Amino acid sequence: MTDEDGADPEDLEARVEELEERIAEMEAGTDDDGKSMVIIATKGTLDGAYPPLILASTAAAFDWEVTVFHTFWGLDILHEEKSKNLGMSAVGNPNMGVPNLAAVLPGMDAVTTKMMRKRIDENDVSTVEELLEISLDMGVEFQACQMTIDLMGYDEDDFYDGVTVGVGAATALEKMGDADVQLLV
């Protein structure tokens, strides 16, 4: 018995079976259907350190595979000593309520930083160090760009334990190509 196209039902059955097998193979091949995210962190200011760390730790809580690639001033977030003393300026930030003309005066960055630290403390916001530690604990991969480590004159031992050094743009791009979410902050 054949249908209009002349196809044998047994052949069709065999084809369906074959397709089912291929689908099963494909599904098995994408077994790790978990999401992944790559963040390029370029800022080393106190306020600039929060977005990458908050997103990284939260994505890890979603079981995403997370890589944060730190370059230029973003390296300071991973720098054990500098990360505890990140500063910020009211210059170029009109929302801080300090006129730029005053904000450029010597000592004003320290005042602005102190003001922000006070707010962070009063609002029970985690410190940069706490966010970094918990992110490392949750398996976030922190990478420190080798070219900028050399450029800034940093030592590889300056960074927190668990930070990957000796990586460059190609390492980041390879990860970004496969990632579901890529952010430059």
Partner 1 sequence: MENEPDHSLDVKGESCPMPVVKTKQKIDQLQEGEVLEVVATDKGSMSDIDGWASGTDGVELLEQSKDEEDGETVYRHHVRRTNTK
Task: Find the shortest distance in angstroms from Cβ 109 to partner 1.
Answer: 25
Contact track, partner 1, 60-89, x by CB under 8 A: xxxx--------------------------
20 touching partner 1, by CB under 8 A = no
Kindly tell me which of 4 and 32 has the beta carbon lying closer to partner 1. Answer: 32
Kindly tell me which of 66 and 86 has the beta carbon lying closer to partner 1. Answer: 66
Nearest-angstrom CA–CA distance, 115 and 121: 10
Check residue 160 and report its DSSP letter. P
121 touching partner 1, by CB under 8 A = no
123 touching partner 1, by CB under 8 A = yes
27 touching partner 1, by CB under 8 A = no
97 SS3 class: coil
Chain Cα centroid distance, residue 108: 31
164 SS3 class: strand
AA letter at 56 = A
Task: Find the shortest distance in angstroms from Cβ 63 to partner 1.
Answer: 6
Q: How many residues bind partner 1 (CB under 8 A)?
A: 16
Nearest-angstrom CA–CA distance, 34 and 46: 31
Sheet of 164-167: strand order equals 164-167, 141-145, 65-70, 36-41, 181-184
Task: Find the shortest distance in angstroms from Cβ 58 to partner 1.
Answer: 4
In 3D, which of 163, 113, 112 has the Cα closest to residue 135? 163
Q: Can you give the binding site for partner 1, defined by CB under 8 A?
A: 34, 54, 57-58, 60-63, 123-126, 131, 134, 137-138
